[in-house]
Amino acid sequence: MSSEEPQKRELTTAEEHFRTTDSQSRFDFKMAQKSAFQAEKGLNEETVRVISADKGEPEWMLQRRLRALKLYQQMPMPTGWPGQPDLSEVDVDAIVPYIRPDVETRGGVRDWNDLPEEIRDTFDKLGIPEAERNSLSGVGAQYESEIVYQNMREEWEEKGVVFCNMDEAVQKHPELVEEYFMTKCVPPSDNKFAALHGAIWSGGSFVYVPEGVSVDMPVQAYFRMNSAGMGQFEHTLIIAEKGSEVHYIEGCSAPKYSVFNLHSGAVEVFVKEDAHVQYSTVQNWSKNTYNLNTKRAIVGKRGRMEWVSGSMGSKVTMLYPATILNGRGASDNHITIAFASEGQNIDTGAKVYHNAPDTKSTIVSKSISKGGGRTNYRGLVRIGHGATNAACAVECDALMFDNASTSDTMPHIEIHESRVDVAHEATVGKIGDDDIFYLQSRGLSDDAAKQLIVSGFIEPITSELPIEYAVELNRLVELEMEGSLG
Residue 364 has pLDDT above 60, yes or no: yes
Specify the higher pLDDT residue, 372 or 182: 182
What's the one-letter identity of residue 69? L
* pLDDT at 26 (0 to 100): 41
What's the one-letter identity of residue 308? V
Per-residue exposure over 243-276, b if at least 16 CB sit within 10 Å of its own CB, e if not: bbbbbbbbbbbbbbbeebbbbbbbbbbbbbbbbb
* pLDDT at 23 (0 to 100): 42
State the alpha helices, DSSP H only, in 93-248. Answer: 117-126, 128-135, 154-157, 166-172, 174-180, 192-200
Q: Predicted confidence band at 203 (pLDDT cuts at 50, 70, 90)?
A: confident
Rounded Cα distance between 76 and 429, Å, is: 37
Specify the higher pLDDT residue, 473 or 397: 397
Q: Residue 345: helix, strand or coil by DSSP?
A: strand
| 209-252 per-position pLDDT tens digit | 999 999 887 787 765 655 445 678 889 999 999 999 999 888 76
Q: Predicted confidence band at 255 (pLDDT cuts at 50, 70, 90)?
A: very low
Lowest mean pLDDT among 36-45, 114-123, 233-242, 272-281: 114-123
* pLDDT at 395 (0 to 100): 93
Residue 276 has pLDDT above 90, yes or no: yes
Q: What's the whole-model pTM score?
A: 0.82
Rounded Cα distance between 479 and 458, Å, is: 15
Q: Residue 313: helix, strand or coil by DSSP?
A: strand
Q: Residue 306: helix, strand or coil by DSSP?
A: strand
Range with top average pLDDT, 37-46, 141-150, 382-391? 382-391
* pLDDT at 153 (0 to 100): 61
Tell me the CA distances in angstroms from 74 to 262, 434, 457, one per residue in order: 20, 55, 43
Angle at 259 between CA 479 and CA 126, to 5 degrees: 40
| 138-159 per-position pLDDT tens digit | 455 555 444 444 455 667 778 8
* pLDDT at 113 (0 to 100): 58
| 423-433 per-position pLDDT tens digit | 999 888 777 67
* pLDDT at 334 (0 to 100): 95
Rounded Cα distance between 454 and 383, Å, is: 34
* pLDDT at 110 (0 to 100): 53
* 383 closest CA partner among 394, 372, 375, 396: 394
For the chain, the average pLDDT equals 79
* pLDDT at 337 (0 to 100): 87
Write the DSSP assignment of 417-476 as a string of letters.
-SS-EEEEEEEEEE--HHHHHHHHHTT--HHHHHHHHHHHHTHHHHTTS-HHHHHHHHHH
Q: Predicted confidence band at 402 (pLDDT cuts at 50, 70, 90)?
A: confident
Specify the higher pLDDT residue, 102 or 319: 319
**CB neighbourhood size of 133 (10 A):** 11
Rounded average pLDDT over 73-79: 91
